[in-house]
Amino acid sequence: MKKYLLGFIALVTAITLNSFTVKTSKHPTITKNFTYTAYPNDSHASDPNYYTLTGHDGTDDLDCPDGNSHRCGVIAQDDGTGLPDLTQAFTIVTRN
């Protein structure tokens, strides 16, 4: 019986260690450029539905002409649906 005890402990340890999974983030760390479509109305700035990806899947620069300090867009992570994930850290781009 003693010769099977070490094997049994190894089996229980292997099963226990494999039963836990490491939580992975569903969000990539790559940021994309999103244009704010409700300009100059900044009241929808926290609603991701008022943003669109810039060209080439968000890699084109934001086109922010000179003007007043209204939101032009954000540089943020994609939430997987083509909208910015505004619950994560993001950079606001304004028209200066």
| pLDDT in the model for residue 24 | 60
Give me the chain's average pLDDT, please. Answer: 81
CA 36 to chain CA centroid, nearest Å: 17
Task: Give the pLDDT confidence of 38-75 residue by residue, as tens digits.
Answer: 877 888 889 999 999 888 887 888 887 766 678 888 88
In this predicted structure, the answer to whether residue 13 has a pLDDT above a threshold of 80 is yes
CA 20 to chain CA centroid, nearest Å: 25
For the chain, the domains span 31-94
- The residue among 83, 65, 66 whose CA lies nearest residue 74 is 83
pTM: 0.64
In this predicted structure, the answer to whether residue 96 has a pLDDT above a threshold of 70 is no
